[in-house]
């Protein structure tokens, strides 16, 4: 997998749009470090991390950003469990929003991985069944998240994405302000996005 990404390093890195992909992230991390969690920060955060698309309730968002403001030392599982207790939509349902929890945790700790559908697709991580109870979901999420922590460390220690990471550092503005964990996340997310757009079908990216 990593060999193919390295082979197509130019295509992957050249597909980034700084204003859309990188700049909002840099702004979020800078503002958080400066403790500027104001209306503008929350607006950028919700748009960038797609909280808006989920149509989350005001009570959920209030709790979400309270955790961020408090710079919580809770684990991502504790955060997800805490947020599950808050009704998250107009029909007052409760859900395990694990991906949003990892985005929150990453903002507080830049070396924490982000779990989302693109990363799950890259690693073929097991799907979460809607009918599972909260504990079943959290157990599966925990296993997947621990795998990401292990795998990102392995990628870094063994230079498995050396070519594409070097290209990222050379070509992406403010790359020095981004943790290695997030660089890996950025690259994997973009790579999966390219595949989903038909690059294998169109023979622009080939396995082998």
Please write the tens of the pLDDT for every residue from 4-27. Answer: 999 999 999 999 999 999 999 999
pLDDT in tens, 28-44: 999 999 999 999 999 99
| Of 179, 103, 114, 121, residue with least CA distance to 145 | 114
Angle, helices 58-69/39-48, rounded to nearest 10 degrees: 110
Please give the full DSSP string across 74-139, using - where no structure is assigned: --HHHHHHHHHTS--STT------HHHHHHHHHHH-TTS----HHHHHHTTPPPPPTTS-HHHHHH
Give dist(CA 93, CA 109) in Å, integer: 29
Residues 6+ apart with CB under 8 A from 63: 82, 83, 86
Mean of all residue pLDDT scores within the chain: 94
pLDDT in tens, 41-77: 999 999 999 999 888 999 999 999 999 999 888 999 9
| Of 120, 118, 124, 107, residue with least CA distance to 182 | 107
Give dist(CA 164, CA 171) in Å, integer: 10
pLDDT in tens, 124-177: 999 999 899 989 999 999 999 999 999 999 999 999 999 999 999 999 999 999
Confidence (pLDDT) at 165: 98
Give dist(CA 113, CA 151) in Å, integer: 10
Per-residue pLDDT band at 90 (split at 50, 70, 90): low
More confident of the two residues 88 and 166: 166
For the full predicted model, state whether its pTM sits above 0.85. Answer: yes
Per-residue pLDDT band at 108 (split at 50, 70, 90): very high
Question: Which two tokens mark 128?
Answer: 């979460």
Task: Write the CA distances from 63 to 50, 101, 142, 167, 180, integer angstroms.
Answer: 17, 12, 22, 39, 29
Give dist(CA 63, CA 84) in Å, integer: 11
């Amino acid at each position: 997998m990593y060999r193919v990404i390295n082979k197509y390093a130019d295509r992957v890195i050249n597909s980034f749009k700084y204003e859309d992909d990188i700049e909002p992230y840099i702004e979020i991390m800078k503002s958080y470090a400066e403790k500027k969690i104001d209306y503008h920060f929350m607006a950028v955060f919700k748009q960038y991390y797609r909280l808006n698309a989920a149509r989350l309730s005001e009570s959920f968002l209030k709790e979400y950003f309270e955790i961020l403001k408090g710079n919580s030392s809770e684990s991502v599982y504790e955060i997800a469990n805490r947020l599950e207790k808050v009704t998250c939509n107009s029909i007052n349902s409760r859900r395990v929003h694990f991906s949003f929890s990892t985005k929150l945790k990453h903002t507080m700790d830049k070396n924490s991985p982000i779990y989302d559908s693109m990363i799950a697709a890259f690693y073929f991580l097991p799907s979460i069944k809607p009918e599972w109870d909260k504990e079943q979901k959290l157990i599966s999420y925990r296993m997947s998240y621990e795998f990401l922590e292990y795998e990102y460390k392995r990628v870094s220690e063994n230079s498995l994405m050396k070519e594409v990471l070097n290209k990222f550092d050379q070509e992406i503005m403010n790359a020095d302000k981004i943790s290695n964990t997030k660089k890996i996340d950025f690259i994997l997310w973009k790579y999966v996005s390219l595949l989903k757009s038909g690059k294998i079908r169109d023979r622009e990216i080939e396995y082998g």
